[in-house]
Structure 1
């Protein structure tokens, strides 16, 4: 009898396993076709001369060698790093500041929290078109406000000196998701720590730097990592608003990759760029995790 029961139980488990695989099979097929296959293919294409149609011609490391002699490669990398180095820290500072304001016990906080989060919900294309009007040198909202107080506004997106900064300013408009995460982190700071700090005579700045920031450091690290990954792949806004101009001042790495692959049909060259970008992102994330032990506090440790 025991052997019969075990056999029935095993057959039921096998049947449930088969049903489970069948239920997730659409995802498995999608992953294999739309993720794993392109991933492996791009690695192979990076060693070939390939225009998207026809048979790829194997050329070894020539694409990678040519990249390191390409001035636009270095310029696009510089533009991307410039954006990342300024936009990510600025987003962290402003996000924490707004979260602290929204964490106060005052009337109408739900309304203000909704207002802060709403820009994040606006589609990227729509927000890019909106900001093209806001940053218009002649008729834009910002320059009109500056003109009303006697200040001549810059050319913003039309000026190579201001174009990247314009996109950085625009990026802070969509900080809603980060603010919500920071708010969650603030809510998880134990009130006992603030009470102990009050007993010790700590002022508001001491409590912020010695209680709030250490307890929120895992949340900050999470947002920094997301910010770095997204910034290094910055594409849509630059493509819609400037197309890399003026004078290639907003030619970001992903935009240059897009040009080479879908406009110049250098698929092999673009694949090599994609793999270099993967290495850069992986290296940045690794460094952030490697150094996090020095400044990230985990309450369970």
Structure 2
């Protein structure tokens, strides 16, 4: 009597072929399903990140506005290298980075350690309170701070008067950098605190218990346990704060407009003026490419200096 075989379903994989062919078919099906899952985000990345970058590189080699479009080669870059205003904007941007990055990192780290001393509900409240300025409208924040820094009836000079100190022109003197830095710190602290508090919660408790049994003081616990374990989070905060500081634009445009005497004009403000005021899109794209290269170089150095093999 002949043995009856069960008919194969059309969707059932074929058993025919060599073992290598079967393995390849199985691997292909698995990889195909993975690519189909990431395909929408990949298309978005290619369309709105990769393509604009390539288009900007190409446009930086041309001299064009709404009328003329001529190939210029590296002339745009040569023009920027000899432009004193561009180098002043680079220096102003670096000054903001030097003010902001250490301040955000240190203050956020200290506040996160303090927040960890409170119960969970209070921790959530403080994290939300510090995060709110970061998601608030920049225009609204600028209006509030303009009132605080007003020379005649601002709250800042009122407090200085109560302390017996002379009035200060916060946005029109040598105090303009600290004044703007204070605004940017309040906006940027929230995200750094969220990162640090999450990392603090992930540190194994037995390390602190061992230090407590050994009688280690709090300062040694912080510098020998907490800080080394937070090194990956510190790297993340430093790199992201650096990138954000190089892109400072809106609050400066609203508060000072780049003044006084171009003292707060940043690279991003020059890009905005060249592109949308002077209509020099080639120069603006060249500035954008140079800014991107500068950020990549600094981020590379930061990764080399702060990289860590800590895992927990």
Instruction: Confirm or deny a common fold (TM above 0.5).
Output: yes
CA distance in 2, matches of 1:145, 1:96: 28
CA distance in 1, matches of 2:286, 2:77: 6
The answer on 1:177 being equivalent to 2:184 is no
- Cα offsets for 1:136-179 (capped at 9, x unmatched): 222221211111121123211122x1112211111121211111
Distance 1:30 1:200, change over 3 A: closer
Identify the match of residue 13 of structure 2 among 6, 9, 33: 6
Contact 1:214 1:297 (C-alpha < 8 Å) held by counterparts: no
Q: Please state whether the residue corresponding to 1:153 is helix, strand or coil.
A: coil
Match for residue 4 of structure 2?
none
**Displacement after TM superposition at 1:6 (Å):** 2.6
Report matched runs for 1:53-202 at 5 Å: 53-105=66-118, 108-159=122-173, 161-174=174-187, 175-202=189-216
CA distance in 2, matches of 1:91, 1:29: 35
Contact 2:93 2:266 (C-alpha < 8 Å) held by counterparts: yes
The answer on 1:291 being equivalent to 2:305 is yes
The RMSD of aligned alpha carbons is 2.7
Identify the match of residue 264 of structure 1 among 278, 283, 296: 278
- Cα offsets for 1:54-100 (capped at 9, x unmatched): 35211111111111110111100000001101210011111011111
Aligned residue pairs, count: 291
- Cα offsets for 1:183-228 (capped at 9, x unmatched): 1111112221112222222111111111110111111111111000
Structure ID, larger Rg: 2
**Displacement after TM superposition at 1:108 (Å):** 4.5
CA distance in 2, matches of 1:94, 1:211: 19
CA distance in 1, matches of 2:94, 2:214: 43
* Unpaired stretches in structure 2, ≥5 consecutive residues: 1-6, 15-24
CA distance in 1, matches of 2:271, 2:150: 27
Q: Please state whether the residue corresponding to 1:57 is helix, strand or coil.
A: strand
Identify the match of residue 217 of structure 2 among 179, 190, 203: 203
Contact 2:231 2:306 (C-alpha < 8 Å) held by counterparts: no
**Displacement after TM superposition at 1:262 (Å):** 0.8
- Cα offsets for 1:91-127 (capped at 9, x unmatched): 1111011111111136854443332222222122221
TM-score (norm 2): 0.84
* Unpaired stretches in structure 1, ≥5 consecutive residues: none
Contact 1:261 1:267 (C-alpha < 8 Å) held by counterparts: yes
